[in-house]
Amino acid sequence: MSKRQIIFDTETTGFLDDPTNRMIEFAGIEMINRQPTGNYLHLYIHPERDIPEDAVKVHGLTLEALEENNAPVFAAVGGQIADFIRDAEIIAHNAPFDEGFLNREFAKIGLPSVRELGCGVTDTLAMAREMFPGQKNSLDVLCNRFSIDRSKRVLHGALIDCELLADVYLAMTRRQFDLMGAGEESGDRQTRVNVVQTKRNGRLKVVCADEGELAKHEQYLDALGDECVWRKAAAAERQV
């Protein structure tokens, strides 16, 4: 059975912990069986409130620009978003944030929550933290890590972030699909993984320390004093 996925992202007037913040941009890109279909939904949304300057610095969207382009309020497009994501696996970077905003907006107009629409939710940030513990895992960092071109990303934008995240998600999960025997398809072609085997000749090159390096080593051991474990071990070997 075909597996439908939606890579999605939102831009907002601020953080989720402030109940007055609203969504101002939604973008979703459809994939089926891990292949982009070309089907997407991209909407600018009037927040029915001001947009703080700190938020504008992140995504570049101003209230004036939205009004000039006759951006609809969420109530006018919420049903369209719900229909687009229904029964799909939705994939987002820091998914609790985007899912939380969608649920809040859906609730305002009496629509079911994301999960009530039959959606599974995958958080690529949680995946990245598991794959790369203790490291930075922002979308920019992951693009660099997987050699994904992000030169078009000057400001945060929902659609460009979806496009980048789709590439990041495929790169992060490609190995697990290869291990299950499913290749990555592109059109009518299938990408094959070539395993290169290397042979060792059984001889390792040994590089010994020179006199200067040995002298510095002894000076370092002298500084450690009588409790130097290295010299105690060496003395014990000589006594055997």
Catalytic residue among 42, 93, 156, 217: 156
- Residue 25 CA to chain centroid, in angstroms? 19
114 three-state secondary structure: coil
Q: Using CB atoms within 10 A of its CB, is residue 151 exposed (0-12), middle (13-18) or buried (19+)?
A: exposed
**What does the block give as tokens for 65?**
């620009």
Distance CA(175)–CA(182), nearest Å, equals 10
DSSP tally for the chain: helices H, then strands E: 9, 7
Residue 50 annotated as binding? no
Q: For residue 216, give every residue at least 6 positions away whose Cβ sits within 8 Å of its Cβ, in sequence order, or none.
A: none
Instruction: Give the phi and the psi of residue 173 in degrees, each rounded to 5.
Output: -105, 0
121 three-state secondary structure: strand
Is residue 156 annotated as a catalytic residue, yes or no?
A: yes
Residue 188 annotated as binding? no
**What does the block give as tokens for 7?**
């890579």
Residue 105 annotated as binding? no
Q: Any idea what the Cα angle at residue 180 is, between residues 178 and 184, rounded to 5°?
A: 35
Residue 116 annotated as binding? no
Instruction: Give the phi and the psi of residue 102 in degrees, each rounded to 5.
Output: -60, -45
Residue positions forming the annotated binding site for a divalent metal cation = 9, 11, 161
- Catalytic residue positions, numbered: 156
Mark the binding-site residues, compressed into ranges: 9, 11, 59, 161
Question: Binding site for substrate: residue ranges?
Answer: 9, 11, 59, 161
